């Protein structure tokens, strides 16, 4: 079964927690962790896709107006407490394995090497009526 594992980052901590503000050593440790995680999942045949997303300063919200044209609002959005930092799509035997992977993602190293313990939302990926997603 496929699951999407969505890593959340707290909006309020972004300015100081943004990886571009980390020491080079901390940034390398974080990147190395993610590279090892993705390699492990790929070798286990569990990784379907992984995507890191731009920060909230690059976010936009688009809503169709009555005439069908796009109304675009710049981010970040003050009503948001968290934003989606990236996601993995994994194909695993069940929710227990998805939870194990999510816990590993959550503990990625932050500044000073301490586990970040970021929230990771786990949701099943639904199949389309015509087949697999």
Model pLDDT for residues 20-58, shown as the tens digit of each residue: 778 899 889 989 999 999 999 999 999 999 998 877 777
- Please give the pLDDT value at position 21: 77
What is the overall mean pLDDT for the chain? 85
pTM equals: 0.78
CATH, domain 2-119, list 3.60.10.10, 3.90.1280.10, 3.30.70.1060, 3.40.50.300: 3.30.70.1060
- Please give the pLDDT value at position 77: 61
| Residue 116: band (very low, low, confident or very high) from pLDDT cuts 50, 70, 90 | confident
- Higher-confidence residue of 133 and 125: namely 125
Mean pLDDT confidence for 110-129:
86
- Please give the pLDDT value at position 9: 78
DSSP string covering the chain: -EEEEEEEEEGGGHHHH-GGGS-HHHHHHHHHHHHHHHHHHHHTT-EEEEEE---GGG-EEEEE-TTSPEEEEES--TT-SEEEEEEEEEE-SSHHHHHHHHHHHHT-B-GGG-B----EEEEEPPPBTTB--
d(CA 2, CA 90): 5
d(CA 117, CA 108): 7
């Amino acid at each position: 079964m496929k699951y999407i594992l969505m890593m959340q980052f707290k909006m309020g901590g972004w300015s100081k927690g943004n990886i571009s503000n980390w020491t080079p050593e901390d940034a390398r440790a974080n990147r190395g962790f993610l590279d090892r995680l993705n390699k492990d999942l790929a070798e286990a045949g569990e990784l379907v896709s992984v995507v890191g997303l731009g920060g909230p300063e690059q976010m936009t919200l688009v809503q169709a107006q009555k005439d069908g044209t796009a109304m675009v609002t710049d981010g970040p959005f003050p009503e948001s407490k968290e934003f989606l930092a990236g996601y993995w799509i994994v194909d695993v035997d069940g929710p227990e394995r998805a939870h194990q992977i999510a816990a590993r993602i959550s503990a990625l190293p932050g500044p000073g090497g301490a586990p970040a313990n970021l929230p990771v939302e786990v949701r099943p990926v639904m199949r389309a009526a015509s087949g697999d997603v």
